[in-house]
Each structure stands twice: as C-alpha cells, then as structure tokens.
Amino acid sequence: MVNGLDPSREIYPNAPLQLVACEVAYALVPGADISSARDVLYEHLGDRYPLPGPSPASLTVTVGAGGPMPQLAQGFRFLNLERTQSVAVSPASIILESSRYHRFEDLLDQAVAAVEALGAGVRIAATSRIGLRYIDEVSLNALPDRSFDGYFTDSVLAPGMPVTDVGGPQEFLTTSRFVVGPDRSTVMRTGVLTTPVVTPDGPLAIARRTEPPFFLVDIDSSWQAAAETSPLPFDPPVMADVLRSLHTPVRALFENSITDKLRNDVLRKEMTA
C-alpha cells in the first residue's frame, strides 16, 4: 500500500466511467484577478492542454453604493487535443475533468501540476473544498442478460422492486451520505434513469453515448471546511493527501454496489467503441 493506494489493485479495462472530476474550491486574496493566471497556467500546462475551451462562469457578489451587486465573472478552460481532458479555472475553483480515465494516480499527478501552475499565476488565500466525483453509467443493452438483476447488489436494486397494484418504477434514484472522516463526506447516488447524467454536448468528447435505460453509480467524495474548522492552505502536497483519502471510499462504494457477474461479463472485457 502506498499512501492508502494499492498499486496492484485491479483496473477494469471496460469500466463504465463516463466522467471523472476533481475540484479544488478556493478564496482569492483581496484584489486578485483570476484572468492574470491564464498565460502562466498555459505556459505550465499548454503541452498537455493546448486547446482553448468554453469558459466556465461563476457568480460573484460585490458591494457598491446601492448594496450587493451580483456579477458574472468569467474564467478560462484548456483541453487536450482529443478533448478527453480539461482544466477549467474560475474565480471560485479549479476543476479537472476526464472522459477517458485510466487510474487515480494519473489524475492526482495532473491535479497537483494544475494547482502548482495556478498558484504561480495568482495569489490564493485558502482552500475551502476538495472533491472527487466519479460517474458510471451502465446501459441495459450493454448487459448480456438485458436485465440489471444479478449485475448489481440487492441493496442498490431494492428501490426498483415492483409494488403490488402499482408495478415497478420506470426510473428511481437513491442518495446515501457517508461521513468518512473529519470534514469529509461521500455521497452516492444509484438508480435506473432514462436521461444521461453526463451530457454528450459538453466541452469533453464522450467515448460512448449512454443508451437508456441505464444504471447510474454517481459518487461524490469531498472535504469541506466546516464553520468551526479552518480552511486549508492552497498547497499541492496538502491537497494531494486529501485527494488520496477521498479516493478510498469511492473505490469501496463502487465495488460494494456491483457483483462478480458484472465484473466478469462486462468490466473485465476489453473496451469496445
């Protein structure tokens, strides 16, 4: 085990991951301008993310003579040539997204590099939230039996059981929240849906469009400063340690929601287009 990660853990060649995101939310120092970091960040990361992308936007509030005035502050985004990875920066956060994910260590290295580059371009006072989100979508048509039964554990399938005189739901979604450490929580959403959570019309290219109906496993693991605790410094090693701790419950919850039948019949098969 290295920092809580097992380097020999199984990596599924046909994992149903549609999107993985890493977010670091922060507060800028007074007077800092996020646009000043654009050229510095591109200088550091342009080899990996050479393409400009659609700008993320965040709502900020300034106080003027007439009281609070909301303003839409623009950020910037860069993508790789395949449009499968992006880094998006706004006045409130930096977010890395991937629609072609391989393993956590790669994402961690990219996140550390992005945070270092951003810190070199703009002064940031503190970090208020660090999060990891993994979105898996398994289409019914991708399952050999054309049924979700047997591929997912009974605990996540239970809300879809038919009700006497009513029948089974066409769609269902359940949410569970776990407290996994100081200021750390993990939210898991599971269920059968007919509208994809990850839109193919976003800035990233999605390798496989999800055909409805599909089974969703959406896990959001985060650290967030509570009212009675201090925020974290905007520091790459500190952020990396938190991300490692957040990855552990993501892996555990996903593995606990699936069966060996899904592993053998789908996940361990070589990925096909």
- Encoded tokens for 194: 């007919």
What phi-psi label fits residue 267: left (phi over 0), alpha (psi between -120 and 50 degrees) or beta? Answer: alpha
Q: What is the pLDDT at residue 8? A: 76
User: The whole model's pTM is what?
Assistant: 0.90
CA-closest candidate to residue 174, choices 237, 245, 257:
257
DSSP for 55-107?
PPEEEEEEEETTEEEEEEEE-EEEE-TTSSEEEEE-SSEEEEEESS---HHHH
Query: Does residue 168 sit in helix, strand or coil?
Result: coil
> Which tokens go with 75?
């950020």
Which residues are bridge partners to 165 per DSSP? none
C-beta of residue 79 within 8 angstroms of C-beta of residue 85: yes
- Which two structure tokens, joined as six digits, stand for 52? 């400009």
Beta bridge partners of 86: 79, 97
Residue 6 is predicted with a pLDDT of: 73
CA atoms within 13 A on the CB side of 86: 24
C-alpha–C-alpha distance, residues 43 and 120, integer Å? 11
Please tell me the distance from the alpha carbon of residue 220 to that of residue 135, in angstroms, as a whole number: 9
Beta strands at 214-224 and 184-193: parallel, antiparallel or unpaired: antiparallel
Q: What is the DSSP letter of 258?
A: B
Q: Half-sphere exposure (CA, 13 Å, Cβ side) for 77? A: 19
- Cβ contacts of 127 within 8 Å, gap of 6 or more: 24, 25, 26, 225, 231, 232, 233, 234, 235, 238, 239
Residue 222's Cβ-side half-sphere holds a number of Cα atoms within 13 Å equal to 19
Per-residue pLDDT tens listing for the chain (273 residues): 445 567 778 999 999 999 999 999 999 999 999 999 999 999 999 999 999 999 885 444 444 455 555 544 579 999 999 999 999 999 999 999 999 999 999 999 999 999 999 999 999 999 999 999 999 999 999 999 999 999 999 999 999 999 999 999 999 999 999 999 889 999 999 999 999 899 888 899 998 889 999 999 999 999 999 877 789 999 999 999 999 999 999 999 999 999 999 999 999 997 655
Spell out where the chain has E strands.
17-28, 51-52, 57-64, 67-74, 76-79, 85-89, 93-98, 124-139, 172-181, 184-193, 214-224
